[in-house]
Structure 1
Amino acid sequence: MNEEWWPDHVQYPRFTADLYDLTKALDPTRPVNDASGGCHIKTDIWTVHSYEQDPEVLKNALYKDGGFFQTPNNPQGVPSANVGFNGLAVNSPYPFPKYEGEMPYLIDEVGGIKWVEAKDKSNTDTSWGYSTPPATQEEFLQRLKGQIDAILSLKEYVWGYCYTQLTDVEQEQNGIFFYDRRPKFDLKLVSRIFSKTPRE
């Protein structure tokens, strides 16, 4: 699932745990990410999403003073019709898991930097990226480099990242490639950024 941020106390934990168990029964060799960037219940990979554009703010948001970024859980009240004969009261608390450092921690959505060529502004008012778009390709690459450097500086805590997204789609213009898969940038420069490894 993706970005489940407002789960109820009964159906969501049960459904998510069942999905995890079913997936493991089908293939026990693969790690399961139960809710990408959302409220985790039963998972092998702890994932978060962050589109913070400022590298230093991103770094401090992901990890600072022993604290990891935690997707906020905003549990909904449970309508009594959903709990059957269990006797669970409306708004009964459910202990949503917190990250305790015992599994891989990944930022599986980061980036989202909007870039549109000056000659291709046809749908730029209805599509989007995050924050103010860079004014030049050089500014885009500098912002991208800053974000990746910030993540790599947390090598003791963060296991990996996934830039979002590979190509533009109808809704968003923050890909490395345009909608028709033409590269937006010099791919050697982009590859140089994404190929960076944490410094020892």
Structure 2
Amino acid sequence: LINEFVAEIERDYNHPSIIAWVPLNEGWGVSGAEKDPKRGYYTSSLYFLIKSIDPTRLIIDDDGWWHTEHNDICTRHFYSTTDLLPATLDEEISSHKTSVPKPYLKPSEYKGGPIIYSEIGGFGYDFEDKIDRKWGYGRLIEDSEDFFDKVLALLKEFDKRKEWIQGFCYTELYDQFQEINGLLTFEREPKFPPHKLKEKLDTMFF
């Protein structure tokens, strides 16, 4: 991992679209870190290694999972059905307010700073009904209007909590083979009229 990631940084250092380096995602490669301090130290070491190569960019040590104190943005991944969404999201935000360990490895804790939900959504909808092995979070959606309503309901809940949430990234922009949770198909065809979502977003998050 270290050799490959250093090579990637050196290769892509001057690419203008990169705003943060993310060496780990969801604890992959450091599973069990909440019980093994050595894995947390390893995560921290990646932060300092990357910072020594590129001090100009933000670093997210382990996206959406167990952070250490050596991390620039607190990130969470959030997938929930609409009926459970408000309570689940409030519980998540409450954990940040009270600085409970999760999503931080002990003895690290949240000490303020931006909270980004770097993965949200995941509603599965096979717009063209041609994927054999389909996958999405929760029950697969069967029509465009229902899909739009669920996406909008999710974004409205985040808008209500914008005081605590500084940003989010929807999963995903477009389908990836069997993962049919994109806003667009694999061929980049919208699953609902894009202007409908834009009209709603223009009144949110500001």
Shorter-chain TM range is 0.7 to 0.9
Change (3 A) 1:109 1:116: same
Amino acid at match of 1:121: K
Deviations 1:115-153 (A, max 9, x none): 113x53332xx2311111233211111111110010111
What is the number of residues matched between the two proteins? 175
- 1:107 maps to what in 2? 117
Q: Structure 2: which 5+ residue stretches go unaligned?
A: 1-23
User: 1:49, 1:152 → 2: CA distance?
Assistant: 16
- 2:37 maps to what in 1? 10
**Is contact 2:158-2:165 (8 Å) kept?**
yes
Equivalent residues in 2 for 1:43-54 (5 A)? 43-54=71-82
| TM-score w.r.t. length of structure 2 | 0.74
Larger RCO of the pair (alpha carbons < 8 Å, separation 6+): 1
User: 1:160, 1:146 → 2: CA distance?
Assistant: 17
RMSD: 2.7
- 2:130 maps to what in 1? 121
* Higher normalized helix content (fraction of residues): 2
The CA deviation at 1:194 is: 4.4
The CA deviation at 1:67 is: 1.4
* Percent sequence identity over aligned pairs: 28
Change (3 A) 1:71 1:107: farther
User: 1:170, 1:71 → 2: CA distance?
Assistant: 36
Q: Structure 1: which 5+ residue stretches go unaligned?
A: 74-93
Of the two, which has the highest radius of gyration? 1
Equivalent residues in 2 for 1:45-194 (5 A)? 45-54=73-82, 57-64=84-91, 67-68=94-95, 95-100=106-111, 102-117=112-127, 119-123=128-132, 126-194=133-201
Amino acid at match of 1:120: D
User: 2:135, 2:107 → 1: CA distance?
Assistant: 32
Change (3 A) 1:168 1:18: same
| TM-score w.r.t. length of structure 1 | 0.76
